[in-house]
Structure 1
Amino acid sequence: MAVNDASHHIISELLAQRTGQQLTEGRRWRVSSALSGLFRECGIENVDQLACLLERPGEHSLATRVVEALLNNETYFFRDNAYFSVLANQVLPDLARKRAATKRLSIWSAGCSTGQEALSLAMIFAEQPARWNGWTIEILGTDVSNKAIETARNGLYTQFEIQRGISVAQMLNFFAETNGHWQAVDRIRAMTRFQQHNILDYPPSPGRFDLVLCRNVLLYFDPQTRSAAFDRLAGGTARDGWLMLGAGETVVGQTERFKPAEFGSSLYEPVHELPARAPMSSLRVATS
């Protein structure tokens, strides 16, 4: 169903203000289908009517539900498996040497969606018990979607979700069947925690994370917002830490806060000689 320009602008501005994401022409076609559930709940038929509702005073709750519906939470376990091979065979061994004295690693999965990326990392550690014996592993998953974070915290997945990306052995070792669903076992969940967070806000723990994964998130930002996001990521990355982006993302020509690493696809290192930039609060409004 076609959406008129005024309605499209209202929805686009809402998404940009709450998340920084741009509702480009390439994403416009799926707006009606993404919001179809809300149409039924509100007793309306199209985006134009929804836009009218959003213009009324006191519709914060509806606006939040619209944003949640528009977010792309597509993910699965070990998504782009080659990247996890680089992490397991190159990045994590490098960090093991750097952190040998403290035996502590902190990892940030930014834009974690429903938690599969963070749990995939936890499985890597669990599959190498000798290497990580005595270590404290902390994996923080954050996402702007409260609904996605709730799923991640529960660690409960459907049969379809559990079969995407992991082997039968991993499924049986790291998940338990519960009423037709599969839930991550305690030893995996103990390494992870999840919280709602917007990547354009200050990092959860500035300068603390040894590895930051922000894959397939920056694709949806315009250049200015993407630059601000890189500033935030740099603020959350340890001086000798790593940043991993998605296949269609790069720091080249986008920011001076990171530089390409010498090994590994989509791996980057922080640049230290640049001063921190001023906060970019004008780019977004608070989500709370």
Structure 2
Amino acid sequence: MINRQPTAQTGAMAVVASLLEARTGQQIAANRTWRIETALKPVLRVRGHDCLDQLVAELFDDQTGVIADQIVDALLNQESSFFRDSGVLDMVVTAIDQRQQECDRRPRIWSAACSTGQEPLSLAMLFADRFETTGKVEPEILATDVSDAAITRARAARYSQFEIQRGLPVRQMIKWFEASGSDWIAQSSLVRKINFRRHNLVGDPAPVGYFDIVLCRNVMLYLSPVLRKRVFDLLAQVVRPGGLLVLGAGETVIGQTEAFSPSPRFRGLYERGAQSMHELGLVAA
């Protein structure tokens, strides 16, 4: 819950930070509150306000939730790019190859906190290329984000010239994207390879079914220890034993959860142990 009225001690910034944490679990450190005003400048401009206090006053009077959605979407860190940490994505492809050799079923991948879609689209391109050369079935890809606005953009798969140049090889751009004015739009045949859905890692139930690999990069950095444990528990529910968890370069499972441990086969990735849900304390006995 956020305070009905900001006090001299909390102020408008604290109210906004509290809203973000209540909705997504993400925390803004005291030394980074400057990011609030910077991120909310477009919202202030659209709503005709001169300062954050005016926006917060309107937030308290809003009965539709639209303003809260606009504030949260603006504050979320939607930094993303195509083929980000390409070596990691190459390991994901190799790992899926191994999983397919071990079992006769279609693999499943979850790109959690997928932002505006560059990560799952990159994976879809890699697996489409692999299918063309080897005939191996492409995995099912689920892509989710807490932001409705981000998921809407991901489904549209429309990117600016700046976004398209960030990590996307020219060969892939020509093959999978079409120019539309100053923007580039992914072909529908590529977008259809991905199931885009809204999902809140700290508030929603786990997706149905099990996944061979879950990518959840640069999310834990913004969560409190309590919420990190909650998210790790949720991920442990859906990663198959022997499956992999992919975190950001500055994140680790060490000291955070017993469900995952450093993978002996894939450096920097984490493997799901074979313990049962009861042993991990994830479900009632």
TM-score, normalized by length of structure 1?
Answer: 0.88
Answer yes or no: is 1:91 the counterpart of 2:78.
no
The aligned counterpart of 1:202 is 205
Shift of 1:267: 0.9
Shift of 1:42: 2.4
Would you say the 8 A contact 2:258–2:280 is kept in 1? Answer: no
Distance 1:122 1:136, change over 3 A: closer
Shift of 1:58: 1.8
Would you say the 8 A contact 1:246–1:266 is kept in 2? Answer: no
The aligned counterpart of 1:286 is none
Question: Which amino acid counterpart does residue 205 of structure 1 have in structure 2?
Answer: V
Query: What's the secondary structure of 2:280's corresponding residue?
Result: coil
The aligned counterpart of 2:129 is 127
Shift of 1:12: 1.5
Written as runs of structure 1 = structure 2, the 5 A alignment for 1:1-288 is 5-56=10-61, 58=63, 60-88=65-93, 90-99=94-103, 101-102=104-105, 104-129=106-131, 133=135, 135-200=137-202, 201-206=204-209, 208-271=210-273, 272-273=275-276, 274-277=279-282
Shift of 1:57: 5.7
Separation of aligned partners in 2, 1:94 and 1:264: 12
The aligned counterpart of 1:282 is none
Distance 1:215 1:203, change over 3 A: same
Shift of 1:4: 6.9
Separation of aligned partners in 2, 1:26 and 1:131: 50
Unpaired segments ≥5 residues, structure 2: 1-7
* Backbone CA RMSD of aligned residues: 2.0
Shift of 1:9: 2.1
Shift of 1:52: 2.4
Shift of 1:176: 1.7
Separation of aligned partners in 1, 2:31 and 2:213: 32
Distance 1:132 1:155, change over 3 A: farther
Would you say the 8 A contact 1:257–1:270 is kept in 2? Answer: yes
Distance 1:183 1:221, change over 3 A: same
The aligned counterpart of 2:5 is none
Question: Which amino acid counterpart does residue 119 of structure 1 have in structure 2?
Answer: L
Separation of aligned partners in 1, 2:18 and 2:134: 46
Question: Which stretch of structure 1 is more off in the superposition, 130-139 or 210-219?
Answer: 130-139
Instruction: Report which structure shows greater RCO (CA 8 Å, sep ≥6).
Output: 1
Shift of 1:255: 1.3
Question: Which stretch of structure 1 is more off in the superposition, 123-132 or 140-149?
Answer: 123-132
Shift of 1:155: 1.3
The aligned counterpart of 1:285 is none
Would you say the 8 A contact 1:146–1:196 is kept in 2? Answer: yes
Would you say the 8 A contact 1:53–1:59 is kept in 2? Answer: no
Distance 1:269 1:74, change over 3 A: same
Q: Calculate percent identity across the aligned residue pairs.
A: 41
